[in-house]
C-alpha cells in the first residue's frame, strides 16, 4: 500500500542518515551554517552540492521551517488549499463524498497543493485552479470519455493520466461518477 504524504516524509527523515550519511537535524545545521534561508536556494544547494534527492532536500527544508508535521491536520491543509478558491470548496466536498461512496477502502489524504484519493494506489486527485476544480484520474490508455483531457501538471503521481474540469455541480453527474468508478476499480 502506498504511503500517505506524512508517512513518506517520516520515512525519508528516518532513513536520511543511512542514505546520506547525515541525519535531518545534521543537514539542517549544514544549511544554517551556510546561511541559506530561501527555499529554492536550500533545495538547490542540497541537490547540487550535497547530492541529496529532491524529496530528501524538501524534507530538510520542511524541518528547517518546522513544517515537518504540517500533514497532521488534513482539514487545515484543505482550508489553506481552498482559501483562494472558496467558490470551489463545495464542489470539492461533493467529489470527496462521491469518492468515499466507492468503498470503505478509499483514503482522502490532503497535501499542500492537491488532494489525492487512494485505494491500494492513487486513483484520483482534486486540485483548485483559476479555471475551476480540476479532478485528475488514473486511467488506462483505453479509457476515453469526451469530457476527459490529458492531465497536465497536477502534482502527485504520474499515474494521473486524464483530467476533467469541474465548473459547477452539474458536472458531478452520473458520467463523472462512472469515470471515477473506473479509476477506483483500476487501482484495486
In tens, the pLDDT along 29-75 reads: 888 888 887 889 989 999 999 999 988 988 888 888 775 555 566 78
Range of 66-75, 121-130, 145-154 with top mean pLDDT: 121-130
- Confidence bin at 21 (pLDDT 50/70/90): very high
Point out the least confidently predicted range of 25-29, 47-51, 124-128, 149-153: 149-153
More confident residue, 11 or 21: 21
Give Cα separations from 60 to 8, 46, 70 (angstroms): 13, 9, 14
Give Cα separations from 135 to 17, 30, 73 (angstroms): 37, 40, 22
% residues pLDDT > 90 (the chain): 47
In 72-181, DSSP assigns E strands to 107-108, 115-118, 122-127, 133-137, 149-150, 162-166
pLDDT of residue 142: 66
- Name the average pLDDT for the chain: 87
- Confidence bin at 5 (pLDDT 50/70/90): low
- Confidence bin at 2 (pLDDT 50/70/90): low
- Does pLDDT of 155 surpass 70? no
Give the residue-averaged pLDDT of 158-172: 91
User: CA 169 to CA 153: how far, in whole Å?
Assistant: 24
User: CA 34 to CA 45: how far, in whole Å?
Assistant: 10
- Does pLDDT of 6 surpass 60? yes
pTM of the shown model = 0.66
Give the residue-averaged pLDDT of 66-91: 80
Amino acid at each position: 500500500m502506498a504511503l500517505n504524504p506524512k508517512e513518506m516524509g517520516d520515512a525519508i527523515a528516518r532513513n536520511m542518515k543511512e542514505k546520506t550519511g547525515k541525519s535531518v537535524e545534521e543537514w539542517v545545521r549544514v544549511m544554517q551554517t551556510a546561511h541559506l534561508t530561501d527555499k529554492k536556494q536550500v533545495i538547490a544547494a542540497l541537490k547540487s552540492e550535497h547530492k541529496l534527492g529532491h524529496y530528501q532536500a524538501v524534507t530538510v527544508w520542511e524541518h528547517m521551517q518546522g513544517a515537518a508535521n504540517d500533514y497532521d491536520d488534513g482539514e487545515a491543509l484543505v482550508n489553506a488549499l481552498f482559501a483562494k478558491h472558496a467558490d470551489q470548496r463545495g464542489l470539492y466536498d461533493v467529489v470527496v463524498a462521491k469518492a468515499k461512496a466507492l468503498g470503505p477502502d478509499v483514503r482522502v489524504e490532503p497535501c499542500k497543493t492537491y488532494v489525492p484519493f487512494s485505494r491500494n494506489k492513487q486513483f484520483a486527485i482534486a486540485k483548485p485552479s483559476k479555471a475551476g476544480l480540476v479532478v485528475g484520474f488514473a486511467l488506462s490508455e483505453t479509457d476515453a470519455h469526451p469530457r476527459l483531457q490529458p492531465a497536465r501538471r497536477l502534482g502527485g503521481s504520474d499515474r494521473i493520466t486524464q483530467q476533467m474540469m469541474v465548473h459547477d455541480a452539474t458536472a458531478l453527474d452520473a458520467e463523472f461518477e462512472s469515470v471515477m468508478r473506473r479509476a477506483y476499480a483500476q487501482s484495486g
